[in-house]
Structure 1
């Protein structure tokens, strides 16, 4: 590689101090970013593209680590390597946000009226289920819904606007069926009575 850059008029000192660390830095960004995206594809069950990304990730990593071993006396390479790793994590997360791959399950728990959220879900044809529970704050409604990740910001904004005090969690799901349930308010007198109240939406 030194011979190639020497042909471009780049001195060995410039190569060691600037060019090589930059190459390692950007190689690490690429391979860590690929790794982040690959994990998302693995979680969503996309085996083919995850396999291809895994091959590319390993190839880029070998090229980067190979340059480290060839220049063990270059301190700048040791700085560039972890710096590229850290930057790659950030870049990979940004890519994942833009791609918005897969589905998520959202759980909303609130003691307030959630009819506005239900209306929003019905409007966008999102499947959901509702059950009633009880906490130290009194009666609570628990809403479950599964939607594409790209639709999550809209739902979160709706929650913050309509029921800002609501508690909600978001988790990634590998797959989800297309059927959905809407659950009527359960009877707290008997533990299993709410099961009989389940009806198809």
Structure 2
């Protein structure tokens, strides 16, 4: 029983680190990702050896597989809590009075906007770049000012200059 729990825990830690490391690589955090990879492979070898030592009992392999799935969920949850990086939020709104701009700026967000034309007339495109941990706050603020706005967000690959929430 102790071996099963150990296999499960090792697998969860290993795969959570693997998931987080892949996300760090995509975000360009190379050196931390490389260090994590070195630790991660050591954990992998220990867990895999435990499974190989007990191949005569299929439950060890099954626990290893279940640990893998749980590790993916744990890694994604961890990354969600860390909220690494930035997000660009683009808001398409019919509000042209500046209420949206003022609301965002009063809350400390940098705003860039320009006029646009939609199917139903004049619109305003508003762009805000924020740390990912502030993303939901911006959505809620925009929806409180203009519930009819269209919001699209994406992660920028490169940032240089600009105004960010302190």
Residue 122 of structure 1 and its aligned partner are, at CA, apart by: 2.0
Alignment gaps of 5+ in structure 2: none
Higher relative contact order (CA 8 A, sep 6+): 2
CA apart distance, 1:40: 3.1
Note if contact 2:91-2:151 (Cα within 8 Å) is conserved in structure 1.
yes
Is the CA contact (8 Å cut-off) linking 1:40 and 1:101 kept in structure 2?
no
Say if 1:24 and 1:77, in contact at 8 Å, map to a contact too: yes
How many pairs are equivalent? Answer: 163
Q: Deviations along 1:16-47, whole A, 9 cap, x unmatched? A: xx222221211121112112222332233222
Q: For the residues of structure 2 that align with 1:74 and 1:174, how far apart are their CA atoms? A: 47
The CA distance in 2 between the partners of 1:23 and 1:29, in whole Å, is: 10
Give me the whole-angstrom Cα distance separating, in 2, the residues matched to 1:59 and 1:168. 43
Counterpart-to-counterpart distance in 1, 2:91 and 2:97: 9
Which whole-Å CA distance do the structure 1 matches of 2:112 and 2:20 have between them? 31
* Separation (CA, whole Å) in 1 of partners of 2:137 and 2:55: 50
Matched-pair contact (CA < 8 Å) for 2:88–2:156? yes
Q: Which residue of 2 aligns with 1:110?
A: 93
Q: Any idea what the Cα deviations from partners look like across 1:42-79, whole Å, max 9, x if unmatched?
A: 23322221111111222212222222222222211222
Separation in 1 of the partners of 2:156 and 2:109? 15
Deviation at 1:94, TM superposition (A): 1.9
Runs of at least 5 residues in structure 1 that lack an aligned partner in the other structure: 1-17, 181-201
Structure 1 or 2, whichever has the larger Rg, is 1
Comparing 136-145 with 84-93, greater Cα deviation is found at 136-145
TM-score by length of 2: 0.84
Alignment correspondent of 1:133: 116
Give the CA RMSD over aligned residues.
2.1
